[in-house]
Copies of this chain bind each other. A is one copy, B any other.
Amino acid sequence: MAVIQPIVNLVDIFVQHGLTHAVICPGSRSAALTLALARNEAVTTIVSIDERSAGFIALGLALGLGRPVAVVCTSGTAAYNFAPAVAEACFQHIPLLVLTADRPKEWVHQQDGQTIYQAELFGKNVKKAFELPCDTAHPDIRWYANRIANDVFLSANTFPKGPVHLNVPVREPFYPSAGDIWMPDPRNRLIGRLGSYHNLPVESWHMLQDEWEETDRILIAGGQGMFSEETCDPLARITEEWEIPVLGDITANLGNHPDFISMQDAFLHNDVPQPALRPDLLVTFGESFLSKRFKNFIRKNPPRRHWHIGPGTHLVDSFQSLTLRIPVDPGFFFRKMLEDIDYKRFLEQNEATNDSFKQEWLKEEYLAARIVSEQINKNLTSLDDLTCIGSLVSALPEDVFLHLGNSMPVRHANLLRRLGLRQNVWANRGTSGIDGCVSTAIGNALATSKPVCLIVGDVSFLYDRNGFLLEQFPQNLKIVVLNNGGGNIFRLIDGPRNQPELGRFFETRHSFTARATAADAGIAYDEIRQPAELEKTIGKFVASEGPALLEIFTDPEENRKVSEQIRSAFERSGS
């Protein structure tokens, strides 16, 4: 009983804090963690044999649930396989409780079993790291273990949320005996933490409002995030009433307002000056920006002032123009500005300029949308990634949670945002890896009963196919694999395209398909090899019941051609 008791207490504290889901990887050293979670009725468990996938499944679950999810593994390199998901969660501020069983310290590096240096395993790529004490004889240790349990959960779940590593050294025996009692210690003490919000002194608000009112050309830009109406509604009013352009990639999830700008990655140029679009004040919020062209545009045309809204403390200056951090919630900030600024006065002063500034951005937006849309219509007889994603996003139901693989799917979908405006779009853009796209979508689907769809390239799909090694595949998940036989992005970039090593070392051309992987997991599979099949097969796929995988074989040369066509269409348009 002694071995299990501290772990039962740990899980009890987690559950009292609100833990509901755990992803468990098989192992013996981790048996107490597994059993304490499996035998707690409040916890739904998912079993995955590959820790790399398990990490991303937990990430997808936490993304969907909005609260910490536990993920458990045994000792040794198993824990290292969590690292890609831990890093992604860290840079995306997704709360995970990363529970790794370990040998006690005296057994590390003693050539005995599954043992590596596990303490502090994730270095700076994790929010915090703790270690549970192994010997619990002294009463202070019970206090310490109770405190750690609370700290692990609170650290993961407090802004900025993130993955927290708890290393759990365990001595044998690992398993309880038949007569063992499974009860949390009644002295287990929950330490709560009230929610709080950041505000600014009234003088700061006045200062900001004065600067805002004095500025002619304000541009608001949102980075990645799952923003609620609390943020999107005031932004819609700001762009409508104050004629201030509001911009966001597809991953910013700013909602469906038709005036929101999202074609910036198409219409901004790296080499042509676009002075009409230069802001005097840039106001950003959210996480990473997908549009490289937008970042380059701002870097080359730094605004006089750049405010970043958000209470985080890590100094990010990816636009190389930041002048002021405003540590409050973005939705609160925009609502406060709307409420406090005498907007009639604001309009009188700024209407002419702001109006024309927003119109400059919107003009480019509409033109770009037309070019892309014409391009797609022109290509309906070819199987290229962009056209296929276009057909897909138009066909998907409104309430779908859409996952997009790095690197091309998210870029293509971004170009097509106006075709199928929607909320709830996700890509692993914290570290932009291809190593967990499939498992993240699986985890997300396990967290909801709504439909989830993943659009992913062949390399990302193959990389993370072990996400399929699940007991039960989520019934609400549909996957589209765009198989262009390699890492097609390299063919679209000048640098690698011009190297003789393109095919072997960059694209890594291959002839693997997703068919067998789907069949092995008992998932309905269909494929498209001809443009004529596109519409009908997508329709059937979207309408089908249960999980399904659709593989569309697109032509890498067609993809290159479409990318060229769009590029030259934009050049011709002078945009």
Contacts and interface: CB of A to CB of B under 8 A. Distances in A.
Interface of A: 24, 26, 28, 31, 34-35, 38-39, 45, 47, 49-52, 76-78, 80-81, 83-84, 87-88, 90-91, 109-117, 120-121, 123-125, 173-176, 178, 223, 287-289, 295, 314, 316-318, 431-433, 435-436, 459, 462-463, 465-466, 469, 471, 487, 490, 493-496, 498-499, 501, 504-508, 510, 512-513, 516-517, 519-521
Nearest to A489: B28
Contact of A316 (B110, B116, B507): B110
A39 B501 CA distance: 9
Nearest to A460: B49
A382 to B, nearest CB: 25
Nearest to A172: B495
Contacts of A34: 501, 505-506
Given A28-B493, A495-B175, A498-B175, A111 B287 contact: yes
A113 B508 CA distance: 21
A74 to B, nearest CB: 10
A77 B81 contact: no
Contact of A78 (B287, B318, B435, B505): B435
A436 B81 CA distance: 11
The 6 closest A-B CB pairs, nearest first, are A175-B495, A516-B516, A111-B288, A77-B84, A117-B124, A77-B433
A508 B295 CA distance: 47
B516 A519 contact: yes
B466 A466 contact: yes
Contacts of A465: 465-466
Given A26-B490, A31-B496, A91-B116, 15 more contacts: A26-B487, A26-B506, A26-B507, A34-B501, A49-B487, A50-B462, A77-B83, A109-B316, A110-B316, A112-B295, A114-B431, A115-B431, A175-B496, A462-B469, A516-B516
Given A116-B87, A117-B124, A178 B498 contact: yes
A471 B80 CA distance: 27
Contact of A314 (B109, B178, B512): B109
Contacts of A521: 512
A78 B495 contact: no
B47 A504 contact: yes
B77 A431 contact: yes
A121 B77 CA distance: 14
B496 A77 contact: no
- Residue of A31, A505, A506 with most chain B CB atoms under a 10 A cut-off: A505
A52 B493 CA distance: 26
A290 B490 CA distance: 46
A466 B109 CA distance: 29
A161 to B, nearest CB: 16
Contacts of A433: 76-78, 114
A495 to B, nearest CB: 3
A318 to B, nearest CB: 5
A389 to B, nearest CB: 22
